[in-house]
Amino acid sequence: MVNFISIDDGRAVGQEVHDPHPHRNQLANPSNPCESIPFSLTPTSPLQSTSVPPSSRSPRLNWSEQIDTGSSIYSHVLLSISKDSTMANTIRLYLTCIRNTLEAAMCLQNFPCQEVERHNKPEVELNTSPELIMNPVLICRNEAEKCLIETSINSIRISMKVKQADELENILAKKFLRFLSMRAEAFQVLRRKPVQGYDISFLITNYHCEEMHKHKLIDFIVQFMEDIDKEISELKLSVNTRGRLVATEFLKQFI
Amino acid sequence: MAAVAVHQFAECITCHAWSPDQSMVAFCPNNSEVHIYKLFGEKWEKMHVLSKHDQIVCGIDWSLKSNKLVTVSHDRNSYVWSQEGTEWVPTLVILRLNRAALCVQWSPKENKFAVGSGAKSICICYYEQENNWWVSKLIRKKHESSVTNVAWHPDNILLATTSTDGKCRVFSTYIKGVDSKESESSSSDLKFGEQIAQLDLSVTWAFGVRWSPSGSILAYAGHNSMIHFIDDVKSNPSAQSIPLRDLPLRDLLFLSDRVVVGVGFDCNPMIFTADDTGLWSFTKFLDQRKAAPSSSRGSQLSEAFGKLYGTSKQVPSNDTVEPSKPRGGAHENCITCIVPLWKRGNTTLCRFSTSGLDGKVVIWELDIPK
């Protein structure tokens, strides 16, 4: 059984993150639902657990079918594109949803390791104490683009899969993101290797939240997501332009 | 009803405590030292630096009557500091912990203190006169995860703890020779380490447990943005859970039996009051915020951002995701610690101080009716 959240109120997503139980009772003070949100899976009221057939693309969903309170029950949010709204509209909703989830999820504090004395490790990476890790939240824009947010008491891991429409975009995305990941030291919050099944991952710990402002960190992540798409489109455009120029020059000799 | 004073001491403050006369403040600037500052007129000056710990000092408590400072750290150690002349002399406390200590609090009579730890146990330490050192008794195997906060009941015997397994437990910490036997409590309760109650109200981690001044109400915060109030824990517990609008709380303080202040990730203290029937509700935020910028300014911002990143504006400007605005207010980052400031002769508490990850200590004053 998969939990479904509808995003009338960004805080709805936030509260889901903190609750390991699959059945939530009342929402606190839902205010100002956004008007004309073009998504819903069922026409009934939100926060009902609907049985959605598990997606074949994410094998972990099958594992989470066994309802084990405390660990990973995926909250699957799908944005369906209505006929009225434009394509550009959904990216705003997607990013707003991610921003609101991050605002709720990025409540980190210094927490010494329970397993090893005198050590302080990011619990989301350590993964040994299930009570310290929250439910992961998966926010999907469509089948190709999604964002996985895993939180724990002292760290949060954000993994993204960027849109890759064709082979060329695939190669460009892989090379570009690998270039960034190798320079993860400079970014501080970037993870050197993306999580399995995703293109790039961020690891934010309580130390980052102490040094930097939380809202600035969230701004950075959301801006990064926006920029990645633009960068890859630009790269693709320049590759195609260059290819065309080279081909024109080469074939001129045969005219 | 606002922030009386704001002091920026460091980049980031883990915890703080005030001296009995409130002229000195001891805090940990997110490293292994404890800095003590004294107020000279208008300026704060660093008086002492206590550096005995190896890792970050996560708990400081200053006893009001005996003027002793107790510090606990992630390096599993604890020291009791007493002021001799101008120097602070540390006394090692044998905690017998094998994981980090997370919190500490002096008991109301200041003959004992409790330490919560990542070893899923609590240490109750008391002073042994014959050997001239502090000895600890452990309450083991009762918690399933790290103990995040401890709170003493005014009777000096009951101790409430919160843990990352989401439960709040109340224990008896009666120690023969240290505590005098009260005639009213039953003998079964007096066993050391006896669990009086276990509260399962929170599904996520619990923080910030406190008893009301009379000892009849227990309150703690859950990480799912809820605050729980339990009346009459020992005999007939009745609970109320209030969901919060925004982010979760980290610490609580009872100003009276009817008023509670909660602080947390919102960077703004929240007031909760109980009405005559005992029903708790959220009253208000303490900090007056600057007004949010109007939507027209917001769209200008987004246009500027669009030009900065070279996008061709096909979408209308009010559709752009706006960057988050800074909140304004006294604290800029999460508030982690709230400490009462008792006024001499006053029975109701109306002053308290908060410290947070932004390195500020802010003193608040509130006038409570009645």
Going residue by residue through chain B, which has 370 residues, state the pLDDT in tens, using 9 for 90 and above: 577 888 898 899 999 999 998 899 999 999 999 999 998 888 899 999 999 999 999 999 999 898 999 999 999 999 999 998 889 999 989 889 999 999 999 999 999 999 999 999 999 999 988 888 899 999 998 999 999 999 999 989 999 999 999 999 999 999 888 887 764 555 556 788 889 889 998 889 999 999 999 999 999 999 999 999 999 888 888 899 999 988 999 999 999 889 999 999 998 999 999 998 889 999 988 877 654 444 444 444 444 444 444 444 333 333 345 566 666 778 889 999 999 988 776 667 788 999 999 999 999 988 776 5
Q: Which residues does B6 contact at the CB level (< 8 Å), separation at least 6?
A: B330, B360, B361, B362, B363
Q: Which member of A99, A107, A209 has the closest CB to residue B247?
A: A107
Partners of A201 in the β-ladder = A159
Q: Are B32 and B53 in contact (CB under 8 A)?
A: yes
Cβ within 8 Å, pair B76-A117: yes
Contact A14, A24 (CB under 8 A): no
* B191 touches B236 (CB < 8 A): no
The residue to which tokens 């605002």 are assigned: A103
Q: Which of A92, A181, A152, A54 is nearest to B315 (CA)?
A: A92
Environment class of residue A124 by beta-carbon count within 10 Å: exposed (0-12), middle (13-18) or buried (19+)? Answer: buried
Q: Is B269 on the interface with A (CB under 8 A)?
A: no
Asked if B245 is an interface residue toward chain A (Cβ–Cβ < 8 A), one would say yes
- Chain A hits for B326, CB-CB cut-off 8 Å, are 213, 215
Whether residue B197 contacts residue B169, with contact meaning beta carbons closer than 8 Å, is answered with yes
Is the Cβ–Cβ distance between B194 and B171 less than 8 Å?
yes
- Closest residue by Cα to residue B254 from B272, B231, B236, B268: B272
| Residue in A114, A121, A227 to test binding to B, most B beta-carbons within 10 Å | A114
For residue A15, the 8-state DSSP code is H
Q: Are B193 and B169 in contact (CB under 8 A)?
A: no
Residue B315 phi, psi (nearest 5): -85, 150
| Both tokens assigned to B364 | 């608040």
Collect all residues of chain A within an 8 Å Cβ-Cβ radius of residue B58.
Answer: 110
Given this model, what pLDDT does residue B326 score? 62
Q: Which long-range contacts (CB under 8 A, 24 or more apart) does B296-304 make?
A: B298/B322
Residue in B55, B74, B121, B245 to test binding to A, most A beta-carbons within 10 Å = B74
Stronger pLDDT, A70 or B106, i.e. the higher one: B106
- Give the up-direction half-sphere exposure of residue A111: CA atoms within 13 A in the CB hemisphere: 28
- Could you tell me the pLDDT band of residue A90, with boundaries at 50, 70 and 90? confident
Q: Would you call A88 and B324 a contact, using CB atoms and an 8 Å cutoff?
A: no
Q: Angle between the A167-182 and A214-252 helix axes, to the nearest 10 degrees?
A: 130
Helix ranges (H only) for chain A are 10-18, 59-63, 87-105, 123-126, 167-182, 184-187, 206-211, 214-252
* Distance between A245 CA and the closest CA of chain B, angstroms: 24
Distance in Å, alpha carbon of A171 to nearest chain B alpha carbon: 24
Residue A57 has pLDDT above 60, yes or no: no
ipTM summary value:
0.84
CA distance A120 to B118: 11
Most distant CA pair in chain A: distance in Å?
76
Please state, in angstroms and rounded to a whole number, the distance separating the CA atoms of residues B245 and A26. 12
For residue B226, the cross-strand partners are B222, B243
Mean pLDDT throughout A70-75?
38
Dihedral angle sign, alpha carbons of residues A176, A177, A178, A179: positive
Other Cβ atoms less than 10 A from the Cβ of B150: the count is 26
Beta-sheet pairing, B335-341 with B133-139: unpaired
Burial class (CB in 10 A: 0-12, 13-18, 19+), A12: buried
Residue in B54, B164, B320 closest to A131 by CB: B164
Quick: pLDDT tens for A127-186.
Answer: 898 999 999 999 999 889 999 999 999 999 999 999 888 999 999 999 999 999 999 999
The residue written with tokens 């200041």 in the block is B110
Q: H or E element: which one contains A148?
A: strand A146-151
Integer Cα distance of B263 and B358 in angstroms: 14
Chain B residues in contact with A213 (beta carbon < 8 A): 326, 332-333
Q: State the smallest CA–CA distance between residue B85 and chain A in angstroms.
A: 34
CA dihedral A80, A81, A83, A86 (to 10 degrees): 160
Q: What order of strands is seen across the sheet that includes strand B360-365? A: B2-8, B360-365, B351-356, B335-341
Picking from B99, B265, B324, the nearest residue to A117 by CB comes out as: B99
Report which residue type is found at A85: S
Quote the pLDDT of residue B311: 40
- Chain A contact set for B99 (CB, 8 A): 112-114, 117
- Could you give the angle at which helices A87-105 and A10-18 cross, rounded to 10 degrees? 40
Q: What are phi and psi of A207, to 5 degrees?
A: -65, -40
CA distance A238 to chain B (A): 16
Q: Are A189 and A203 in contact (CB under 8 A)?
A: yes
Distance, in Å, from the CA atom of A122 to the CA atom of B7, rounded to the nearest integer, reads 31
Task: Find the mean pLDDT for residues A181-200.
Answer: 93
Residue A90 with chain B: CB contacts under 8 Å: none
DSSP helix/strand/coil, B261: strand
pLDDT at B128: 87
A107, A126, A223, best to mutate vs chain B, most B CBs in 10 Å: A107
Cβ contact, residue pair A132, B145, below 8 Å = yes
Q: What angle do CA B254, B362, B24 make, to 5 degrees?
A: 90
Quote the CA–CA distance of B121 and B114 in Å, as a whole number: 10
Q: Do B321 and A92 touch (CB under 8 A)?
A: yes
Bridge partners of B240?
B229
Q: What is the pLDDT of residue B133?
A: 86
Nearest by CB: B224 against A15, A103, A226:
A15
Q: Is B56 on the interface with A (CB under 8 A)?
A: yes
What one-letter code names the amino acid at A48?
Q
How many A-B residue pairs are in contact by the CB < 8 A criterion? 123
